[in-house]
Amino acid sequence: MKTFMIERYGDKAGVRAGEMPDPQVGADDILVQIHAASVNPLDLRLRDGDFKAFLPYRLPLILGNDLAGVVVQVGSAVTRFAVGDEVYARPDKDRIGTFAELIAVHQDDVAAKPATLTMEEAASLPLVALTSWQALVERARVMPGQKVLIHAGSGGVGTIAVQLAKQLGAHVATTASTAKADLMKELGADVVVDYKKQAFETVLHGYDVVLDTLGGETLEKSLQVLKPGGKVISIAGPPDPAFARELGAKPILRLAMSALSFRTRRRAKRRNVTYSFLFMKASGDQLRELTPLIDTGKIRPVVDRVFPFAETRQAMEYVEKGRAKAGKVVVAMT
């Protein structure tokens, strides 16, 4: 099958087209002919080797972390799906590789594609929708009337998280440029802070939850907008001990992760708030929870641009250079 892969870490020009054997299909797997996949910042970080300490992939590695397509084969124990079904998924972290013509995915990680979406629209959603769900529903347990700040509202995660937070009944603030303010309001934001003109930490106060998608100074300043007992959940900050335990990391790696996040956790504790790192997990069940919100238009995908499969490397460069205006960049196989 045709793929886009890397043969070594850290080489930005090393993403290349290549042939790989068709996937082996296990008893609980479905084989999906991929129609579309989307590009995530995670793909860039994997290419650069940022996670190789705890995600020891065998090289060459096919990149790509979410997909939409059609089932072409099912394993002997598969009960959820049949050949011909249209599906979407974020494969498990150990089985990525959606920049390819085919992929074998465990049936538990897959859901029926929302009927109202094109393949390209559906492919834009799994990773960012699951990230938003796991941050806001599973971990923060956002309740109606709570105040939620979502950073980079026009980004891939942000466009979905703003909509989901609003559906959960929250008062939603986000950071975005003036040019994106109208889109943010359309998606449900109550307050839009122009990060080019205002320091969000000086205008926002008393928030229950912050979803940090940027890390660095933004993460540190986010602690200031929380009320006592509030939570900052970061997908871009340093990993914490809870993540190391969840990963089953070796003791030396647990110590390293604890050290990386020590300063942030200490500052959070001083403010009587909490910090946690989120590395989202595959979940077909959670996608099925999200699908009705998508099919009824309560959550809609935001697609910036669609590239043909042959231009997958260019699509990654487009994302890396920050050229996307809002939402996701998608690669279409056909």
Q: What is the mean pLDDT of residues 43-61?
A: 90
Q: Which of 228, 96, 71, 211 is nearest to 155 (CA)?
A: 211
Helix residue ranges per DSSP H, the chain: 41-48, 119-123, 126-133, 156-167, 181-187, 200-203, 216-222, 241-247, 251-270, 284-295, 312-320
pLDDT given for residue 248 in this prediction:
82
Percent of the chain with pLDDT over 70: 100
State the Cα–Cα distance between residues 74 and 30, nearest whole angstrom.
4
Q: Which of 86, 139, 81 is nearest to 295 (CA)?
A: 86
Residue 304 DSSP SS3: strand
DSSP per-residue string spanning 50-71: TTTTT--PPSSEE----EEEEE
Instruction: Give 169-185 pLDDT, tens digit per residue.
Output: 999 999 999 999 999 99
- Is the pLDDT confidence value at 334 over 80? no
pLDDT given for residue 51 in this prediction:
86
- Is the pLDDT confidence value at 279 over 90? yes
Provide the residue type at 106 as one letter.
H
Tell me how crowded residue 276 is: count the other CB atoms within 10 A of its CB: 20
- Is the pLDDT confidence value at 199 over 90? yes
pLDDT given for residue 14 in this prediction:
84
Q: What is the mean pLDDT of residues 85-112?
A: 98
Instruction: Give 53-65 pLDDT, tens digit per residue.
Output: 888 899 999 999 9
State the Cα–Cα distance between residues 333 and 312, nearest whole angstrom.
10
- Among 52-61, 150-159, 324-333, the least confident range: 52-61
Percent of the chain with pLDDT over 90: 90
Q: Which two tokens stand for residue 215?
A: 């890390």
Could you tell me if 171 and 190 are in contact, meaning their C-beta atoms sit under 8 angstroms apart?
yes
Domain positions in the chain are 1-124+283-330, 139-275
Distance from CA of residue 157 to its chain's centroid?
6
State the Cα–Cα distance between residues 132 and 159, nearest whole angstrom.
10
Instruction: Give 4-30 pLDDT, tens digit per residue.
Output: 999 999 877 889 999 999 999 999 999
- Residue 190 burial by Cβ neighbours in a 10 Å radius (0-12, 13-18, 19+): middle
Our CA dihedral for 45, 288, 277, 197, rounded to 10 degrees, sits at 80
Same fold, 1-124+283-330 and 139-275: no
Instruction: Give the global pTM.
Output: 0.97
pLDDT given for residue 251 in this prediction:
85
Give the CATH fold of the 139-275 domain.
Rossmann fold (3.40.50)
- Is the pLDDT confidence value at 52 over 80? yes
Could you tell me if 231 and 142 are in contact, meaning their C-beta atoms sit under 8 angstroms apart?
no
Query: Which residue has 């890390």 as its token pair?
Result: 215
Q: What is the mean pLDDT of residues 260-274?
A: 96
- Is the pLDDT confidence value at 151 over 80? yes
- Is the pLDDT confidence value at 119 over 90? yes
Class of domain 1-124+283-330: alpha beta
Q: From residue 193, give the alpha-carbon distance in Å to each of 182, 201, 214, 225, 254.
A: 12, 10, 15, 13, 37
State the Cα–Cα distance between residues 63 and 67, nearest whole angstrom.
12
- Paired with 226 in beta bridges are 207
State the Cα–Cα distance between residues 212 and 132, nearest whole angstrom.
11
